[in-house]
Amino acid sequence: MAFVHPHPFVFLLILLPISAVAQNDAGYVNVGSSLTATDENSTSWLSPSGDFAFGFSPLNQKDLFLLSIWFAKIPDKTVVWYAILDNPAPRGSKVELITERGLVLTGPQGNELWSTNTTGTLYGAMNNTGNFVLEDSNFNKLWESFKNPSDTVLPAQIMERGGVLSSRQSETNFSKGRFQLQLGDDGNLVLHTINLPTDNPNEAYYESQTTAGDSGTSSPGEQLVFNESAYMYIRRENNQMVALSQARVGSTADFYFRATLNFDGVFTQYSHPRTSNANGSWNPIWSVPDNICVASNAKIGSGTCGFNSICILKPDRRPLCTCPKGYSFLDPNDPYGTCKPDFIQGCEEDELSPGTDLYSFEVLTNTDWPFSDYAYMKPYTEDQCRKSCMEDCMCAVAIFRLGDSCWKKKLPLSNGKVDSSLNGGKAFIKIRNNYSITLPDDRLPNPNPKPENKNQNNLILMWSMLLGGSVLVNIILIVAICLGVFFIHHKRLKRPIPNVDAVEMNLRCFTYKELVEATDVFKEELGRGAFGIVYKGAIQMSSNVLVAVKKLDSLFQENSDKEFKTEVTVIGQTHHKNLVRLLGFCDEGLHRLLVYEFLSNGSLASFLYRDSKPSWNLRVQIAVGIARGLLYLHEECSTQIIHCDIKPQNILLDDYYNARISDFGLAKRLIMNQSKTHTNIRGTKGYVAPEWFRNMPITTKVDVYSYGVMLLEIICSRRSVDLETIGEQQAILTDWAYDCYQEGRLDSLVEYDVEALDDRRKLVRFVMVAIWCIQEDPFLRPNMRRATQMLEGVVEVPVPPSPYPYSKTS
């Protein structure tokens, strides 16, 4: 009998199932495999590298789960893909790989919740790129998560024309949100809102401008590419590449990357150190649009925030949605939703109310709702504009700007925003006094008139007896009434009135009583700065907001009202992502307080001075962030600010571990007012520049010196002066750092920090910059612009001289 050689394809068919079983631990998933939603430690299907996992993520709501893909090696379990469902999967749900249907998600009772709806599936695979694929016996991809994204794209992922990212509803609600990113059929990448529950889009608030040129000189965009090096660009049909950002992203060997359409409509690329630890975080690299509050301008829909709300751009370029005074969120759990008036306004209701003072105005500057107009008056004065709205029962807001233009608007208001380009334009928000309606007596039902009349008669009788008793009683009563009126009037005169500058800067003027209540009588101390003590508090500002309240010490309390308000104005006009934001102030009698945003991750000091060293890449990010903040204070804000007390305790870290400089803006005026003969040295031991002791002019170079000392602390993760736990030779960090640099022993300087030594070129550059910054001669120190450029590698760092040409500290 002749031997017949089998066709090679037969061997392939025989080997495939065996191969699938053998590689199951390497990312492959066999037909019939399943996962069940049980608890946080449920099994998942891992990629070969272990970087990504496919399975069920538990949600904050009890017994609800999300079928998703996430970064498996990051503690916070960042989700990068999820099955978009009407409702989350309940406990006991199961996802199974079936030949006839692909991936099928069923509920505890067996009802189908979601599926890939693919036939002929042979196996699935969780790839190292974060892409989950289904393939048939011919290795054809039947379905892949990269082609069906939710709100995130990953390196190596490509979006074709027609591809869409949909935001979630909130940070923790994965239902479909109202923002979309889409590469249109015309090749234009756009961001727009949609009118839920449909996908009907509103006008785009961001466009890449990659359609075909009118002259035919350029071709339309064909793909949105997030390449393996984590750079994102649009590839045109002619293979021309249009970068979405010129930001430097770092190496994929050191960082994880993702680009996410956030629930608030901002498309952002993030990085996360691969050497993850408890302190790792996602750090934004770039985002579009630059200002979503101003960019969002669709005539239909509410805009970035809900109806009747105001969008304010935060330093991290994410929107903050607030309600105007007299309004509150329709859903208290949705701080990005619609605001409702806390009073009833209408023509019929106004007719039912007696008196003329039914309403007052809340005045906001540089605030507008660009649509909802029903009347436009020009030329019109500001007084005419206010009066016209006050007398019009349809008018909810009047806008006055451009010198003689008045717009009247009715509810609901859309696209509310704070926009500095409005050049001081004013919004007059109409608010009903006392937030209530008082109806005339004849319009009110009175089911029990007799007891009410009886009470009134008794009251009249009592007063008649008192007043008729004697002349002495009458005199006493008259004096008491006069004194009461005098004290009430005097108290009203002493009440703090919001400063005009504060209103223009959208700062809030708090009463001392408000801040006493907000801090629970200054109960929880957060820290002590150069000018006072900082306390933790919570204030109702459209929602309950955590704040840090600084009570300024007596030095500042002795300053005049004008000086204090000038300083507040300077601080209020600073806007930078590496500065702590001022929310408001109190200037009442001797009480001078500043109210700042509360930052959850505490100070740089607590971050650095601990047993385990923080991530090197995170330390690098913090050092550069501080440099950029100081550069802004020294050169880029409207009034030059010298901090004078740069140290780790005055650097705070936000949710993403971005560095935020605090305690700025108050030092300069104090210094300028001090005489040369009575100079009080400002700053903290170990960080103070030598010129303080030498009667030399105080310039921005004092901050450069302090920054250099702190940069060494960041590099080494230790205190600048440590006489207790470190030997005498290493106790003074500035001395030890220069000795190690000169002798080529940076491994000793960083105590053999593996991450830092793996990035030796950057380590050397940072140490050299620090040595330049701590030069005793202030003229040798670079300014913060030059220091920042050297840190970022934009300019070459020359070899630094000894920082002690005049004296050597022993």
Q: Are 437 and 370 in contact (CB under 8 A)?
A: no
Residue of 42 and 7 predicted with greater confidence: 42
Tokens of 142: 């039947």
CATH architecture of 500-597: 2-Layer Sandwich (3.30)
CATH of 604-791, one of 1.10.10.350, 1.10.510.10, 1.20.140.10, 1.10.238.10: 1.10.510.10
Give the E-state strand segments of 52-188 in sequence order: 52-58, 64-71, 79-82, 89-90, 94-98, 102-106, 112-115, 123-126, 132-135, 141-144, 152-153, 157-160, 164-168, 176-183
Whether 767 contacts 715, CB under 8 Å: yes
pLDDT tens, residue by residue, 188-200: 999 999 988 888 9
Over 50: is that where the pLDDT of 498 sits?
no
- Residue 685 reports pLDDT greater than 90: no
**What tokens were used for 462?**
């009592």
Band (pLDDT 50/70/90 cuts) for residue 561 is low
Q: Inform me whether the pLDDT recorded for 790 exceeds 90.
A: yes
Residue 501, pLDDT > 60, answer: no
Distance CA 163, CA 147 (A): 8
Three-class DSSP labels, 654-680: CCCCCEEECCCCCHHHHHHHCCCCCCC
Choose between 318 and 474: higher pLDDT.
318
Predicted confidence band at 11 (pLDDT cuts at 50, 70, 90)?
Answer: very low
Which pLDDT band holds residue 344 (cuts at 50, 70, 90)?
Answer: confident
- Of residues 570, 561, 579, 565, the one with CA closest to residue 630: 579
Please state the φ and ψ torsions of residue 357, each to the nearest 5 degrees.
Answer: -90, 60
Between 250 and 69, whose confidence is greater? 69
For residue 671, name the pLDDT band (cuts at 50, 70, 90): very low
Neighbours of 126 (CB within 10 A): 27
Q: Is 141 flagged in the annotation as binding? A: no
What pLDDT score was predicted for residue 110?
87
Residues known to be catalytic:
645
Alpha helices in 146-188 (DSSP H): none
- In this chain, the answer to whether the domains covering 500-597 and 604-791 adopt an identical fold is no
Split at pLDDT 50, 70, 90, the class of 28 is confident
Asked if residue 402 has pLDDT above 90, the reply is: no
Residue 708 has a pLDDT of 96
With the C-alpha atoms ordered 479, 483, 484, 489, is the resulting torsion angle positive or negative? Answer: positive
* pLDDT one-digit tens code per residue, 420-451: 888 888 999 999 886 543 333 333 333 333 33
Look at residues 419, 412, 384, 383 and name the one whose alpha carbon lies nearest to residue 397.
412
Give the model's pLDDT for residue 613.
86
Q: Where does the pLDDT of residue 476 fall: very low under 50, low under 70, confident under 90, or very high at 90 and above?
A: low
Tell me which of 569 and 20 has the higher pLDDT: 569
Kindly tell me the burial class for residue 467, based on how many C-beta atoms sit within 10 Å of its own C-beta (0-12, 13-18, 19 or more).
exposed
CA–CA distance, 646 with 655 (Å, rounded to integer): 21
pLDDT of 315: 75
Q: Which pLDDT band, with edges at 50, 70 and 90, does 730 fall under?
A: confident
Mean pLDDT value of segment 686-711: 88
Closest alpha carbon to 107 in 119, 96, 123, 121: 96
From start to end of 120-273, where are the E strands? 123-126, 132-135, 141-144, 152-153, 157-160, 164-168, 176-183, 189-194, 201-207, 221-226, 232-236, 241-243, 255-261, 267-273
CA-closest candidate to residue 407, choices 387, 385, 390: 385
Dist. CA 533–CA 551, nearest whole Å: 6
pLDDT of residue 196: 85
- pLDDT of 346-364, one tens digit each? 887 777 765 557 888 989 8
- Which pLDDT value is given to residue 179? 93
Instruction: State the average pLDDT over residues 238-260.
Output: 87
d(CA 162, CA 221): 11
Close Cβ partners of 141 (under 8 Å, ≥ 6 residues apart): 133, 134, 135
pLDDT of residue 665: 58
Q: Please give the torsion angle defined by the CA atoms of residues 635, 637, 642 and 648, in that order, rounded to the nearest 10 degrees.
A: -100
Q: pLDDT value at position 331?
A: 85
User: By mean pLDDT, which of 281-285, 484-488, 667-671 is the weakest?
Assistant: 667-671
Distance between alpha carbon 525 and the CA centroid of its chain, in Å? 24
Highest mean pLDDT among 26-40, 191-205, 491-505: 191-205
pTM, entire model: 0.53
pLDDT at 666: 56
Name which of 58-62, 124-128, 621-625, 703-707 the model is least confident about: 58-62
Reduce the secondary structure of 26-88 to three states and give it as a string. HCEEECCCEEECCCCCCCCEECCCCCEEEEEEECCCCCEEEEEEEECCCCCCCEEEECCCCCC
Helices and strands, number each (H, E), in the chain: 19, 44
Structural tokens at position 791: 């840190």
pLDDT tens, residue by residue, 96-113: 999 999 999 999 988 999
Residue 689 CA: distances (Å) to CA of 33, 716, 730, 781 = 66, 21, 20, 11
Of 52-61, 141-150, 230-239, 686-695, the one with minimum mean pLDDT is 686-695
**582 contacts 596 by C-beta, under 8 angstroms:** yes
| Distance between CA atoms of residues 491 and 513, nearest Å | 14
The pLDDT, as a whole number, for residue 797 is 92
Lookup result for tokens 């008794």 = 458
Residue 279's pLDDT is: 54
Confidence at residue 728, expressed as pLDDT on a 0 to 100 scale? 77
What's the CA gap between 405 and 398, in Å, rounded?
10
Q: Name which of 731, 713, 735 is nearest 723 in CA terms.
A: 731
What's the DSSP call for residue 579? B
Above 90 in pLDDT, residue 81? yes
User: CB of 68 within 8 A of CB of 77?
Assistant: no
Rounded to the nearest 5°, which phi and psi values hold at 167? -70, 160
Buried b (16+ CB within 10 A) or exposed e, 278-312: ebbbbbbbbbbbebbbbbbbbeebbbbbbbbbbbb
CA distance 460 to 309: 49
Would you say residue 34 has pLDDT above 50?
Answer: yes
Task: Note the pLDDT of residue 512.
Answer: 92
| Mean pLDDT, range 595-613, rounded to an integer | 88
Chain mean pLDDT for the chain: 81
Distance CA 582, CA 629 (A): 15
pLDDT at 679 over 60: no
Q: Measuring CA to CA, which residue among 24, 31, 25 is closest to residue 103?
A: 31
Highest mean pLDDT among 559-568, 675-684, 694-703: 694-703
What pLDDT is attached to residue 464? Answer: 42
Strands 508-509 and 582-588: parallel
Instruction: Quote the CA–CA distance of 650 and 463 in Å, as a whole number.
Output: 63
The residue ranking higher by pLDDT, 13 or 728, is 728
- pLDDT tens-digit map of 731-783: 889 999 999 998 999 999 998 888 899 899 999 999 999 999 999 989 899 99
H or E element: which one contains 767?
A: helix 760-773
Burial 714-727 (b: 16+ CB within 10 A, else e): bbbbbbbebeeeee
| Residue 499: strand, helix, or coil | coil
Give the number of residues written for the chain. Answer: 810
Q: Which CATH superfamily is domain 24-148 in?
A: Bulb-type lectin domain (2.90.10.10)
Domain spans of the chain? Answer: 24-148, 310-435, 500-597, 604-791
Nearest alpha carbon to residue 46 among 19, 20, 73: 73
* DSSP letters spanning 689-734: -GGGGTTPPP-THHHHHHHHHHHHHHHHTS-SB-SSSS-GGGSBHH
Tell me what pLDDT residue 442 has.
35
